[in-house]
């Protein structure tokens, strides 16, 4: 897929090749960046590109900036307009993956809290839900960063070095993805996605105080599972050995969507195929993000000011 024509920097449209940051920015030296990954999907029903749960992503970005003490008057409302303007300027009428990055763009040292810059990129990227092959996961020997040191609830770029160490180790050892345990030995999450398992017919996912990101996809899945499929969903502390008992298991996140896990540490999950609950949830999710009627509050249209339908 080719690069888009524009990125957005501090609200200005900038040609892709010209979107630059100074090498001494605290964003680079100290990882003083917080960000969001957002998806938009083309909707036949609404005849528009729908940004999925953009408001929730921008609220989370505001929370990340607050915790990291970024000094800025950037507001979700303004960023939202910049995101829409960028996708429209790129003329993107397909599925997009959008990154919004807020970062300390200049400064002498690691305590610098301003100036804060805001960059947005929107890349064409098809949804991955059709590609449903299960992956091989392992429990990482690297532990998840903890809320009392580097809170995973904050989507700070530097947090991702924890997942990077775990991913590189897992790939070196022949697995597709690691799953990290928290410092106290409970299941946390994968480097860029949350985890669900099916046990005795109900879904289980680590609670928000298990050193996980408060994932928007996780929230969407819980709502679809409970309201549409009538499944019980438990958010609680999860033991490692429970994962070996699971009859189905999957990862979920904005970019990864829903990824079934075929085996963990060499133990086959269920019969090693994609289980019926995972399959139904993936189908429901794929429909909802593409604008199935009934979830209007979750969509921000790019090309129109309000959600309209083709009919």
Check binding of 37 to ligand PMP (CB under 6 A): yes
Give the C-alpha separation, 103 to 155, whole Å.
Answer: 12
Q: Count of residues binding ligand PMP (CB under 6 A)? A: 12
Closest CB 161 distance from ligand PMP, rounded Å:
12
Closest CB 295 distance from ligand PMP, rounded Å:
16
Check binding of 177 to ligand PMP (CB under 6 A): no
Query: Which listed range, 126-134, 214-222, 241-249, 298-306, lies at the site for ligand PMP (CB under 6 A)?
Result: 214-222
Query: Which listed range, 177-185, 208-216, 287-295, 303-311, lies at the site for ligand PMP (CB under 6 A)?
Result: 208-216
Closest CB 75 distance from ligand PMP, rounded Å:
20
Give the C-alpha separation, 35 to 83, whole Å.
Answer: 13
Bridge partner residues of 14 (DSSP): 7
| Interacting positions 217-276 with ligand PMP (CB under 6 A) | 217-218, 253-254
Check binding of 26 to ligand PMP (CB under 6 A): no
Closest CB 142 distance from ligand PMP, rounded Å:
13
Does residue 171 carry a catalytic annotation? no
Check binding of 189 to ligand PMP (CB under 6 A): yes
Candidates 11, 183, 192, 273: give the one binding ligand PMP (CB under 6 A): 192
Closest CB 144 distance from ligand PMP, rounded Å:
9
Q: Which CB, 98 or 277, lies closer to ligand PMP?
A: 98
Check binding of 216 to ligand PMP (CB under 6 A): yes
The CA-atom distances, in angstroms, between 242 and each of 107, 135, 237 are: 47, 18, 11
Check binding of 162 to ligand PMP (CB under 6 A): no
Candidates 138, 194, 224, 259: give the one binding ligand PMP (CB under 6 A): 194
Catalytic site residue from 66, 77, 80, 155: 155
Closest CB 288 distance from ligand PMP, rounded Å:
13
Give the C-alpha separation, 180 to 189, whole Å.
Answer: 6
Give the C-alpha separation, 43 to 214, whole Å.
Answer: 26
Q: Which CB, 37 or 287, lies closer to ligand PMP?
A: 37
Q: Which CB, 112 or 264, lies closer to ligand PMP?
A: 264
Check binding of 127 to ligand PMP (CB under 6 A): no
Check binding of 193 to ligand PMP (CB under 6 A): yes
| Separation of CA 188 from chain center | 15
Give the C-alpha separation, 116 to 73, whole Å.
Answer: 9
Candidates 182, 215, 263, 278: give the one binding ligand PMP (CB under 6 A): 215
Interface with ligand PMP by CB under 6 A: which residues?
A: 37, 189, 192-194, 213, 215-218, 253-254
Give the active site residues: 155
């Amino acid at each position: 897929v080719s690069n888009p024509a524009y990125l957005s920097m501090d609200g200005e449209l900038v040609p892709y090749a010209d979107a630059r940051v100074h090498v001494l920015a605290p964003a680079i030296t100290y990882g003083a960046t917080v960000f969001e990954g957002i998806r938009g999907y083309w909707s036949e029903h609404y005849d528009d590109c729908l940004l999925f749960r953009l408001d929730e992503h921008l609220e989370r970005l505001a929370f990340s900036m607050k915790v990291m003490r970024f000094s800025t008057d950037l507001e979700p409302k303004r960023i939202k307009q910049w995101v829409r303007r960028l996708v429209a300027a790129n003329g993107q009428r397909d599925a997009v993956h959008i990154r919004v990055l807020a970062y300390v763009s200049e400064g002498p040292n690691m305590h610098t809290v301003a100036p804060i810059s805001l960059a947005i990129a929107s890349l064409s990227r098809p949804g991955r839900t059709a590609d449903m092959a299960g992956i091989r996961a392992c429990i990482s020997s690297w532990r998840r960063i903890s809320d009392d040191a580097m809170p995973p609830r904050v989507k700070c770029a530097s947090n991702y070095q924890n997942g990077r160490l775990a991913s590189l180790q897992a790939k070196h050892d022949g697995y597709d993805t690691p799953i990290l345990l928290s410092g106290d030995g409970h299941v946390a999450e994968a480097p860029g996605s949350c985890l669900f398992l099916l046990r005795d017919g109900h879904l289980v996912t680590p609670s928000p105080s298990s050193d996980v990101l408060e994932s928007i996809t996780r929230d969407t899945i819980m709502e679809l599972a409970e309201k549409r499929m009538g499944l019980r969903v438990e958010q609680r502390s999860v033991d490692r050995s429970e994962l070996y008992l699971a009859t189905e298991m999957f990862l979920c996140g904005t970019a990864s969507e829903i990824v079934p896990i075929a085996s963990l540490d060499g133990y086959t999950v269920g019969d090693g195929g994609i289980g019926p609950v995972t399959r139904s949830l993936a189908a429901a999710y794929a429909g909802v993000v593409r604008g199935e009627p009934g979830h209007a509050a979750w969509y921000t249209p790019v090309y129109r000011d309000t959600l309209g339908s083709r009919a």
